[in-house]
Amino acid sequence: MAATLCLLPFGSVNKFSRSYCTRVSKPRSEPHPPPTRSALKNLSALTIKLPLVAVLAWPINLGPFVTADQPRNFRLAAARAPDTLSLRPILANQSSLPHTVEVTLTAAPARLSLVPGSVSDVYAYNGLIPGPTLDVREGDRVIVHFRNDLPEASTIHWHGIHLPANQDGSPLDPIAAGERHDYVFTIKPGTAGTYWYHPHLHQRTGYQIAKGLFGAIVVHAAHDPLPASLPDKVLILTDNRFNADGSVNFPDPHSVEGEIDEENGREGNVLFVNGQVMPKIIIRSGEVQRWRVINASAARVYRLAIPGQTLLHVGNDGGLFERPVEVKEIVLANAERVEILVRGTAPPGTRTTLEALPYDRYAPQTRPKDWNVARDLLSLQYSDEKALAPIALPVVLRHIPPLDTADATATRVMSMGQGFINGRLMDMSRVDVSTRLGATEIWEIENLVGMDHPFHLHGFRFQVLDRNGVPEPYRSWKDVVNVPKHETARFIVHYEDFPGKWMFHCHILDHEDHGMMGILEVN
Amino acid sequence: MPAFSKSRCLGFVLPILVIAACTPSSGATSSDVRTSMGPQDQIALGRYLVISHDCGGCHGGEADPAAVGWLDGVRSPIQEFKIGPCAVQPGAQPCFTTRPKNLTPDNATGIGRFSERQIFNALRFGLRPEETPDVEITSTTRGQGNFPQTPHYLAVPMPWPAWRHMPDAELWAMAAYLKRGLKPVNHKVEDSEGPPDFWAGAYANNSFGAYPVPAYPTANER
């Protein structure tokens, strides 16, 4: 007969002082009944066919878990009119040589007002959060003079840029406090797109980015198919949270809040676009704007939408698609980028909002209470000018040569647990995957747990083949693929050049710092 | 050696009796010497232990390895567990639902991607294999001997606090049976819910008893 599972081992735990161990019979229409007196009396009448419901009282005081939280809906005073979105300055080119961009990036402590009314001790590139934009063209030789004036080691990782391994700013090449280092690389043709830069010091990446170290990279194509007349705006999405004194809030990692941060990744209750809270973009009816959106948040995933209008999705991590795709919303996971065309389809004088719709990336244990609340990111305000005549947009943007699965010589299975990959924590001295230059391989990224994990491969862009067996509807170049709960994504990658050691990791920064990372060596 | 004689337990009626009657095992260290038996004998021992410890009572198939659904997880909400005050008072909060998982070695929905050591660590230390790296654990103290600083425990009511007292060889045998003695079944079980501390509060400070147990005889024994 079916056994009754007794919970007597818990009986000795005072917190489980009201343990129960029983079977009850209830109609299926009430799937989770409590034991009733009559049911308990009828225990002897139960047979193997009766459903099993064991119940256990849970008298633990969950106060800190269910009550302590900062207000997650930070809003400015209603009376305050939104500021116009501030576009980041472009790093000044110090070189007069053709096809050469030579810039200086200094990382240093600063005191900045991130939220109106308070001042925070932060880290900043060239005194700015976000840092200035590195604006380059395909084929440019880029020289970055990095000055690390932080009180700790750091690196600059050029996220998504295809460059020599020793220029990648990986955890293997830390730049000590007070040191100088030149990063030198050449932008490969065909890689026009939106990228970003940020520190990548092992176990300190999340902290340093939260303190303010991140900035955009825009690589322009030799021949961009989109009209140059389109206003081109970079939107860097971040979130953060602060103590009452304005300092950036980092809980004790062993506190409840710290453990939830480690689980979910650190989310903030203040949402920024280019360092501003709820700024505005002015658009004219009929106008088309090109937005490059970067998710630089440690853990927050944005489900982007503009109520009342659709988005023309034209590109992602590695640049433009072959054809535009009209969508109502876009899920932008950590470190991912998208290019969208925002068309002024509403009448003059109206306004709408760029929203982050709810996205349930969380495990049930640590899902925030208000995860299902939509958040405003940016006010989109239509000017009173009369509508512009529509402009023609190209139907074909470019050709993306497909990588052929017939060329693949290996399939790499990456099973992501919570905080580790293939059962192993990051070891800087270990090579997890060894391959050869010129090879084409398939990576199968499995998510074993009930929380999304965005997987990032350094150095080599890839093409997603399928997600949970469903073929990718269109081809694009990616360097991050979000793998939702218990799902599997496959991508194909060609190691065309640049041997060396490359990181792959979950781009939830708390997970990456915890050791959810490995090393690919291309020989 | 016959599988049955490997057990050092005196009774098998209920898990609680098993721990009461078992001799203490060798200690917290899970040595990687999994067995001195041949693979088939080890699987046979594991099969016997899985049946006698009623894994199928929650995970499916009761005590019948020939049953449809043998160990492949809950297939009906009626088999779920409601944890919390709601168990005795409908609607009371907090209320969590836990669901016995698919224990067959299916890669996508079962334990196929976990090593036998991760399964051993689940049975010995209560650590969720998908949330605990594949390492030898030599301590029961957070942050020491590879025991996680932030442990994620198996959802209540998995009775690992009792079964952790089984000898190493028996836990390895159970892991061997699940990994190598079962056919994979693709059957997805929804994740359990639970408190944000992943049940760690329930097991804090070893408040559910010492491991290993005191040496025989204690003051109560002769």
Residue A60 has pLDDT above 60, yes or no: no
- Pick among A19, A47, A56 to test the B interface (most B CBs inside 10 A): A56
Tell me which residue in A55, A418, A425 faces B131 most closely, judged by beta carbons.
A418
Question: Between these two residues, A172 and A82, which has the higher pLDDT value?
Answer: A172
Q: Which of A437, A440, A444 is nearest to A402 (CA)?
A: A440
For A262, which residue in chain B has the nearest alpha carbon?
B150
pLDDT score recorded for residue A75: 54
Residue A65 has pLDDT above 60, yes or no: no
Size of interface A-B (CB pairs under 8 A): 177
- Contact residues on chain B for A55, CB-CB shorter than 8 A: 81-83, 87-88
Residue A66 has pLDDT above 70, yes or no: no
Q: Which of A33-47, A347-361, A399-413, A499-513 has the lowest mean pLDDT?
A: A33-47
- Contact residues on chain A for B130, CB-CB shorter than 8 A: 417-418, 448-449
pLDDT band, very low/low/confident/very high, at B206 (cuts 50, 70, 90) = low
ipTM computed for the complex: 0.83
Residue B28 has pLDDT above 60, yes or no: no
Residue reference for tokens 């067995």 = B35
Query: Long-range pairs for B203-210 at CB < 8 Å and ≥24 separation?
Result: B203/A13, B203/B126, B203/B151, B203/B153, B203/B161, B206/B140, B207/A13, B207/A14, B207/A15, B208/A9, B208/A10, B208/A12, B208/A13, B208/B161, B209/A9, B209/A12, B209/B161
Element (H, E) at B116: helix B116-125
Tell me which residue in A6, A28, A486 faces B78 most closely, judged by beta carbons.
A28
pLDDT band, very low/low/confident/very high, at A473 (cuts 50, 70, 90) = very high
Give residues 240 to 269 of A whose Cβ lies within 8 Å of B.
254, 256, 259-260, 262-263
Tell me which residue in B107, B129, B196 faces A365 most closely, judged by beta carbons.
B196
Residue A36 has pLDDT above 50, yes or no: no
pLDDT score recorded for residue B203: 85
Give residues 352 to 381 of A whose Cβ lies within 8 Å of B.
363-366
pLDDT tens for B7-25 read 323 233 233 333 333 333 3
pLDDT score recorded for residue B34: 64
pLDDT score recorded for residue B90: 85
Instruction: Work out the minimum CA distance from B5 to partner chain A, whole angstroms.
Output: 24
- pLDDT average, residue stretch A387-406: 96
Instruction: Work out the minimum CA distance from A422 to partner chain B, whole angstroms.
Output: 8
Tell me which residue in A3, A34, A450 faces B57 most closely, judged by beta carbons.
A3
pLDDT tens for B59-96 read 999 999 999 999 999 999 999 999 988 888 888 888 99
Give residues 78 to 97 of B whose Cβ lies within 8 Å of A.
78-90, 94, 96-97
pLDDT score recorded for residue B20: 32
Peptide bond into A189 cis (omega under 30): no
Cβ distance A16 to B202 less than 8 Å, yes or no, reads yes
CB atoms within 10 A of CB A402: 10
**What's the whole-model pTM score?**
0.87
Residue A358 has pLDDT above 60, yes or no: yes
Triad B115, B120, B121: Cα angle to 5°: 95
Cβ distance B193 to A3 less than 8 Å, yes or no, reads no
What proportion of chain B, given as a percentage, has pLDDT over 70? 84
pLDDT score recorded for residue A46: 27
CB A278 within 8 A of CB A379: yes
For A420, which residue in chain B has the nearest alpha carbon?
B133
pLDDT score recorded for residue B204: 78
- A223 CB-near residues (< 8 Å, 6+ apart): none
Residue A52 has pLDDT above 80, yes or no: no
Instruction: Work out the minimum CA distance from B45 to partner chain A, whole angstroms.
Output: 20
A351-357 vs A302-305, strand pairing mode:
antiparallel
pLDDT band, very low/low/confident/very high, at A116 (cuts 50, 70, 90) = confident
CB A74 within 8 A of CB A269: yes
pLDDT band, very low/low/confident/very high, at B202 (cuts 50, 70, 90) = confident
Q: Which of A231-235, A357-361, A390-394, A491-495 has the lowest mean pLDDT?
A: A390-394
- Pick among B53, B123, B131 to test the A interface (most A CBs inside 10 A): B131
Tokens of B179: 């990994």
Element (H, E) at A256: helix A256-264
Instruction: Work out the minimum CA distance from A15 to partner chain B, whole angstroms.
Output: 7
- Contact residues on chain A for B107, CB-CB shorter than 8 A: 446
pLDDT tens for A263-314 read 999 999 999 999 999 999 999 999 999 999 999 999 999 999 999 999 999 9
Residue A72 has pLDDT above 80, yes or no: no
Residue B152 has pLDDT above 60, yes or no: yes
Residue A139: Cβ-neighbour burial (10 angstroms; 0-12, 13-18, 19+):
middle
A270-273 vs A232-240, strand pairing mode:
antiparallel
Tell me which residue in B82, B89, B191 faces A450 most closely, judged by beta carbons.
B191
pLDDT score recorded for residue A74: 53
Residue B111 has pLDDT above 90, yes or no: yes
Hey, is the C-beta of B43 within 8 angstroms of any chain A C-beta?
no
